[in-house]
Amino acid sequence: MDTLLTIIEFLGLVGTIFSVVWVILVVYWTIRGLLPVLYRLGHGLWRRQIGIVAEGDHYRNLEELLKKSKLFNNKNIYAVRGLGELESLSKVELALINWPDCAEYIQEILNAIPVNAALIVYAPPSGGRIPDEVMQSLELRRNVIVNNFRGRLMNDIVTSMITTAYEKR
């Protein structure tokens, strides 16, 4: 009987040591693999240049949406208002366009945005439908999202930033 208890005690000790080593390895692998990725993602989002092409209250609402998220550095959010400021789009890594404000000069905006930059066209239902010709020109570009709902906008912005984060410029 004592031999059986000794064997059970030994197996319990081995199982405990195995469990402790396994927990230590899982914690180590998590820290080593996950934390650097999260750091790079956060640092990348914080440094990215965002241009908002909108007018008046639409600009303020979109800017407030980005600032309240605290994912982006407020210094890296630029206002681009009208045709006169389109040259500032050459340095952005994400362009957020409010469709109702920019419908007349959308082609000029598309020409001003770098090819590798992400592009999000926010077209709320109240702003009217995007014509088929414009949709076809948007379809030819990489990293373009057309969004109709404010609730999905932040998700699309973060996704676009992630997918273009490590492209060489």
The rounded distance, in Å, linking the Cα atoms of 26 and 7 is 28
Q: What is the pTM of this model?
A: 0.75
Q: Is residue 108 part of a domain?
A: yes
Given strand 50-53, what is the order of strands in its sheet?
77-80, 50-53, 94-98, 118-122, 144-147
**Are 14 and 97 part of one and the same domain?**
no
Q: Last residue of some domain: 47, 67, 84?
A: 47
CB 122 within 8 A of CB 66: no
Q: What is the pLDDT of residue 166?
A: 60
**Are 90 and 64 part of one and the same domain?**
yes
Domain tally, the chain: 2
**Are 12 and 29 part of one and the same domain?**
yes
**CA nearest to 124, candidates 154, 100, 90, 158:** 100
**Are 62 and 22 part of one and the same domain?**
no
**Are 39 and 69 part of one and the same domain?**
no
**Are 135 and 122 part of one and the same domain?**
yes
Q: What is the DSSP string of 122-168?
A: E--GGG-PPPHHHHHHHHTSSSEEEE--HHHHHHHHHHHHHHTTT--
Per-residue pLDDT of the chain (169 residues; tens, 9 = 90+): 788 889 999 999 999 999 999 999 999 998 898 888 788 777 777 888 999 999 989 999 999 999 998 888 899 998 988 788 888 888 899 999 999 998 899 999 999 998 889 999 999 998 889 999 999 999 998 889 999 998 899 999 988 888 786 654 4
Q: What is the pLDDT of residue 15?
A: 94
Residue 141's domain comprises: 49-163
The rounded distance, in Å, linking the Cα atoms of 167 and 169 is 6
**Are 109 and 139 part of one and the same domain?**
yes
CB 164 within 8 A of CB 115: no
Q: What is the pLDDT of residue 40?
A: 75
The rounded distance, in Å, linking the Cα atoms of 153 and 52 is 13
The rounded distance, in Å, linking the Cα atoms of 71 and 44 is 10
**Are 109 and 56 part of one and the same domain?**
yes
The rounded distance, in Å, linking the Cα atoms of 29 and 47 is 27
Find the CATH number of the domain harbouring 58. 3.40.50
Q: Is residue 53 part of a domain?
A: yes
Query: What SS3 state is found at 167?
Result: coil
CB 100 within 8 A of CB 124: yes
The rounded distance, in Å, linking the Cα atoms of 163 and 140 is 17
Q: What is the pLDDT of residue 169?
A: 44
Q: What is the pLDDT of residue 25?
A: 94
Q: Last residue of some domain: 47, 62, 78?
A: 47
Q: What is the pLDDT of residue 34?
A: 86
**Are 136 and 91 part of one and the same domain?**
yes
**Are 13 and 28 part of one and the same domain?**
yes
Sole residue written with tokens 């990489």: 142
**Are 97 and 116 part of one and the same domain?**
yes
Q: What is the pLDDT of residue 64?
A: 93
User: DSSP code of 104?
Assistant: G
Q: Is residue 169 part of a domain?
A: no
- Run of H or E including 80: strand 77-80
**Are 53 and 38 part of one and the same domain?**
no
Q: Is residue 168 part of a domain?
A: no
